[in-house]
Structure 1
Amino acid sequence: MTVYNFVEHGGKTEAAYAPEDQEKYEAFMERIEAGEKIEADDWMPEEYRQTLIKLISMHGISEIMGALPEKEWVPKAPTLNRKLGIMAKVQDEMGHGQLLLRVAEDLMAPYGKQRESLIMDLLNGDLKFHNVFHMPTKTWADAGMVGWLVDGAAIISQTNMLDASYGPYQRALQRICAEEVFHAQHGEAIIMALAEGTDEQRQMLQDSLNRWWPALLMFFGPGKIETTGSSKQEVTTKYKIRKSSNEELRQAFLDKYLPRVFSLGLTIPDETVHYDEGKGQWMYKEPDWHEFKEIIKNKGPRSKERLRLREIAYEENRWVRQALASEPVLT
C-alpha cells in the first residue's frame, strides 16, 4: 500500500510519496495524462483510490436513496401508464446503485471491505447521500420535477465524468447516463402535461418549482473553495476523474434549463436571476450553504424517514443475503 505524507507546495497541500513509490506515482500520472484507463488491479496512489471510493460510494448510495422520493408516488400515480413509468424508473435507479457499489467494492478490496459495509456506513451516518434526496415529494408535480430537473442536473454532472480516468467507473457511467436520459424524458412528460393542464395543475407545478429551486442550486456543491489546501474539486480534476468545476456545472444546468422553465410560463423564486452578458453567465442568489451542510448531515426534511426505510429494507432482506452466502449466518 502506498505510503505518503502531505506537504505544502506552491500554496497547496500535496502528497509526498516515499522514494519507493515515487517512480510508480510518476508512471501513473503519465498514464493519466496520456488518457489511459486505470483498472481495479492496477497500482494507484492511495489518494486516488480514496477519492474514488468516496465519490463512487456516495454516487451509488445516492442512486439507491434517490429512488425513495419517487417510490412514494408509485401507489399514487394518476394513471396506470404513469404508475408503470415511475415503477420502471425506480427499478433503474436501484440497479444503478448496485452497479456503482460493485465498482466501489473492487476499490475497497485491499482493505477487506465489501458492499455491505457501505450500507452500514450509510445507516450510521458516515456515508452521505445527495442533498436533493433528503427533500419531500409532496405532490405529483414533485415526482415530475425529480425526473426533469434533478435527473437533468445528474446527467450534466455525470456526463462531465464520462471520460473518467478510472475505467470501471467510466464504463458504468456510460450505461447509467444512457438510462438517465429516458428518466429525464419521463419527468419532462409529466411536467409538460401539468403545464398544459388546468390552472390548478399549473399552480401545483409552480409551487413544486418554488420548493425545489434551492435544492437544485445546491446540487453541484459550493462554487468557491472554502477550505485550505487541496479541495475535492482540485483532486478529482488533477486525476482526470472530472473535467469541470462545481460552478461550471451549475452554469451548464442554468444554460440548459432556465430557458425551458421560462418557456413554460414558470417563474424562478429568485428575483435576482438574470443572464449577465458581460460575464457570460447566469447570476443568482447564493443558496444557504450552511443549510446544505446540515442537510447532508442527515438533518434534512425527510432524512430520518428515508434512512429508516432503508434500514427496514436492510433488516427484512437479511435472510436473502444469508441464503446467498456460502456460509449463512444464523441469528
Structure 2
Amino acid sequence: MTTMTAFERLSDEEKHNHFMQRIEAGEKIEAEDWMPEEYRMTLIKLISMHGISEIMGALPEKEWVPKAPTLRRKLGIMAKVQDEMGHGQLLLRVAEDLMKPYGKNREDIMQDLFSGRLKFHNVFHMPAPTWGDAGLIGWLVDGAAIITQTNMLKASYGPYARALQRICAEEVFHAQHGEAIIMALAEGTDEQKALIQDSLNRWWDSLLMFFGPAAADTTGSSKQDTTIKYKIRTKTNEQLRQDFFTKYIPRVLSLGLELPDPTMRYDEEQGLWIYKQPDWNEFKEIVRNNGPKSKERLRLRQLSYENNAWVREALSPSNEAI
C-alpha cells in the first residue's frame, strides 16, 4: 500500500496555486512534474507545431540543394536543411515526453500532421521559385524565427527552454547564411538585385503573418494570452512583429530595396511601426493547408514517412535483440 505525499493530498486548486508560485519564482517545470492540463496541452500544441514546422521548413530550401549556383552554396544549404531536420527531431522528443500520460508518441504527431489536425507555420506553405527566395528565407524568415524563439529562451518549461538554447544558436548561423546570399545578390547585376526585390514582394505578407494576429479575437484564439500567463513567452504577437520591423526594416532599406507596403512608417510619438495589415482570412486558409504549396509538401512528407517505415521498425525496441 503506497502512502500519498503531502502534495498529492492537496486539492486541484491548491496544486494549481503551488504550480503558479513556482513559475512566478522562476523555477523550471520538468516533464515528470505535476502541471495543469491547460499548461500541458498548450505546450504539446506549441512544441509539436514548432517541431513539425522545422521539418516542413526544410522542404522549400531542400528544393534548392540541386540548383544552388555554386558548390559552396550547395554545401551551405545542405547543412542548413540538415540542421532544421535535427531541430524538428529534438523538439518532437520534447513534445513526446509531454504526451506520455495520454499514451501518445511521435507517430501520433505525424498522423495529426497528415490528417490536418496539427498545423505547420504559414511561411512553409509558400513557393520558393528563385535563388532570391532561398536567401530571403534564411535572412528574414529565420530572422523572424530567432526573434520569436529567443523570446522563449527563459520559458517556464525546462526541456523546451534547453532545446531552444541549441536551436537559437544554430539559427543565428542560418540567418548569416541567408544574409550572405542576399548580400552577394545585392552586389551583383541588376537582374540579381531584382531577384531580391521580387522575393521581398512575394514574402512580405507571409513575414507579417509569421507572428500571428495582434489581437486574440482576430482568429478567435487566446493562445498568446495563455503562453504569456504561464511564462512560456513574455511578449505578444504584435510586440514581436514590432521587434522584427525595428531590426530588419533599416537593413532592407540599406540595400536600396523598396518596402512592399508604401504606407509603412515609424510613428515617433507612439514608438511603433505603422503598416498595412495582411489579409488574416488568407492566413487562416493557409494554415488550414490551403496554401500554394500545402498539399504538395504534405504529400512529399507523407511519402517520405511511408517509404522509411522500415527504418523506424528496425530501430524499434522489439528488434534490439535481433
TM-score of Structure 1 vs Structure 2, range by shorter chain: over 0.9
Aligned-residue offset at 1:269: 1.0
Which amino acid in 2 is paired with 1:39? Answer: E
Corresponding residue of 2:76: 85
Deviations 1:89-132 (CA, angstroms, capped at 9, x unpaired): 00000000000000000000000001111011001100000000
Give the whole-Å Cα distance in 2 for the aligned partners of 1:296 and 1:257. Answer: 25
List aligned pairs for 1:233-244, cutoff 5 A: 233-244=224-235
List aligned pairs for 1:17-28, cutoff 5 A: 20-28=11-19
Residues 203 and 227 (structure 1), Cα distance of their counterparts in 2 relative to 1, 3 Å cut: closer
Match of 1:176 among 145, 151, 167: 167
Q: Please, which runs of 5 or more residues in structure 2 have no aligned partner?
A: 1-9
Aligned-residue offset at 1:228: 9.9
Give the whole-Å Cα distance in 2 for the aligned partners of 1:326 and 1:166. Answer: 28
Give the whole-Å Cα distance in 1 for the aligned partners of 2:243 and 2:283. Answer: 21
Match of 1:66 among 47, 53, 57: 57
Corresponding residue of 1:250: 241
Corresponding residue of 2:278: 287
2:106 corresponds to 1:115: yes
The secondary structure found in structure 2 opposite 1:226 is helix
The secondary structure found in structure 2 opposite 1:282 is strand
Match of 1:94 among 85, 90, 109: 85
- Calculate the TM-score normalised by the size of structure 1: 0.92
List aligned pairs for 1:152-167, cutoff 5 A: 152-167=143-158
Give the whole-Å Cα distance in 2 for the aligned partners of 1:124 and 1:176. Answer: 27
Tell me if the contact between 2:224 and 2:236 (Cα under 8 Å) persists in the aligned partners: yes
Q: Please, which runs of 5 or more residues in structure 1 have no aligned partner?
A: 1-18
2:37 corresponds to 1:46: yes
Corresponding residue of 2:137: 146
Give the whole-Å Cα distance in 2 for the aligned partners of 1:303 and 1:192. Answer: 30
2:25 corresponds to 1:34: yes
Corresponding residue of 1:103: 94
2:283 corresponds to 1:297: no
Which amino acid in 2 is paired with 1:251? Answer: Q
Give the whole-Å Cα distance in 2 for the aligned partners of 1:40 and 1:117. Answer: 19
Corresponding residue of 1:14: none
List aligned pairs for 1:122-271, cutoff 5 A: 122-226=113-217, 231-271=222-262
User: Percent identity over the alignment?
Assistant: 76
- Calculate the TM-score normalised by the size of structure 2: 0.95
Residues 187 and 34 (structure 1), Cα distance of their counterparts in 2 relative to 1, 3 Å cut: same
Aligned-residue offset at 1:326: 2.9
Match of 1:275 among 230, 241, 266: 266
The secondary structure found in structure 1 opposite 2:262 is coil
Give the whole-Å Cα distance in 2 for the aligned partners of 1:129 and 1:103. Answer: 17
Give runs of ≥4 in structure 1 deviating > 6 Å. 227-230
Residues 228 and 63 (structure 1), Cα distance of their counterparts in 2 relative to 1, 3 Å cut: closer
Give the whole-Å Cα distance in 1 for the aligned partners of 2:317 and 2:159. Answer: 26
Residues 228 and 311 (structure 1), Cα distance of their counterparts in 2 relative to 1, 3 Å cut: closer
The secondary structure found in structure 2 opposite 1:138 is coil
Give the whole-Å Cα distance in 2 for the aligned partners of 1:130 and 1:123. Answer: 14
Which amino acid in 1 is paired with 2:131? Answer: W
Aligned-residue offset at 1:327: 3.3
The secondary structure found in structure 1 opposite 2:266 is strand
Which amino acid in 1 is paired with 2:140? Answer: L
Which amino acid in 1 is paired with 2:309? Answer: R
2:271 corresponds to 1:315: no
Which amino acid in 2 is paired with 1:118? Answer: I
Tell me if the contact between 2:216 and 2:223 (Cα under 8 Å) persists in the aligned partners: no
Which amino acid in 1 is paired with 2:22? Answer: R
Which amino acid in 1 is paired with 2:230? Answer: Y
Give the whole-Å Cα distance in 1 for the aligned partners of 2:139 and 2:218. Answer: 33
**What is the root-mean-square deviation of aligned Cα atoms in Å?**
1.2
Residues 179 and 228 (structure 1), Cα distance of their counterparts in 2 relative to 1, 3 Å cut: closer
Deviations 1:46-75 (CA, angstroms, capped at 9, x unpaired): 000000000000000000000000000000
